[in-house]
Structure 1
Amino acid sequence: MVTEKLQDELKDVPNYKGIIAKVMRIYTTKQSIEANAIKDALQFYQFHGVKYNLGEELEGILEAANNFGGEPFETAVRFSLDEINEIDGNSIFRSNQVIDSKQLTDATYKQLQMLGTFGDKIPPRNEFPSLTNETTTTSIIHGETGWILYSIETKEITAEEATNIEERVIEIK
């Protein structure tokens, strides 16, 4: 079991059992499980269910799951059909999602306080760095079947001068 392995690895960390219990709460809601466990499926179906016109951008606000298990985040989204390649029988779709920075920063700060990992070394909220989370997905989709031929999702999370980039690729050969 994952928690047993974590307990073994973190046994020298003060209050490690409490920290593990709090981290495992991430998997207590349907939304957080989906956000953490089925990322490939969500990426695969990213562009399904919407009618697209070539060159038109669809924009709006959607809710994104909060991986900490709290209220979902407001997320500004843009979707587009960028190219139709009739010779190869596929199309290129693109999306961009930007999570509300204040909601993300507030939820992260609250989670860090709850975990107590930093003890009293966590700065006051007004001095805590703002976080950004932007995800861009580009997919090549087969025109006749609707199957993803290739898809790359790039998630960039930034706090002050630190940036974490995560890429997930789906490719059918």
Structure 2
Amino acid sequence: MMKHFLFLVLTATLFSCGSTKVAYDYDEQIDFTTYKTYNYIGEMQTGMSQLDDNRLMDATDLVMQANGFSKSETPDLLINIVVEQYDAAPQNSVGIGVGGGSYGGGVSVGAGIPLGGRKDYQTITFDLVDARKDMLVWQAVSDSNVAVNTNPQDRVAYFTKIVQKVFSEFPPEK
């Protein structure tokens, strides 16, 4: 019985550690094959440190260039990135109950024990704006749990993973 309980707790813990979720939206009237160049909106305020800004933009540069785009001073697309960080209480708990009674009477006690501690989450919004029309044409919003106190190499890996997932659906196909 204890083995089953431990297996259940372990399974619940593994499934509670979510991966990155990404939501996309774009203008369906736009022919994305006409875009060849990109750059970032001047004085972009992501909400992160300059070090993390650089890591995130380096990862974005790699992915955009792998998708055939060139960085330019006169870009077709301008990229704006906004980052929000928040923490949340654990969503999963284990319930323990004790009960008893006979012939219509009874006593019951219950408790919920949260699994895991508070988690830090990060929402990163990528806006791609048509530079000539000053119009939003594509947007992706990623939401993932983030380890706040990590080393620089882990932060590079984290941002690289996020950007690869976000831009896996860009440019959208007709």
How would you bin the TM-score normalised by the shorter chain? 0.3 to 0.5
Q: Whose RCO is larger (CA < 8 A, sep 6+)?
A: 2
- When normalised by structure 2's length, the TM-score is 0.34
Q: Bigger radius of gyration, 1 or 2?
A: 2
- Give me the TM-score of the superposition, normalised by structure 1: 0.34
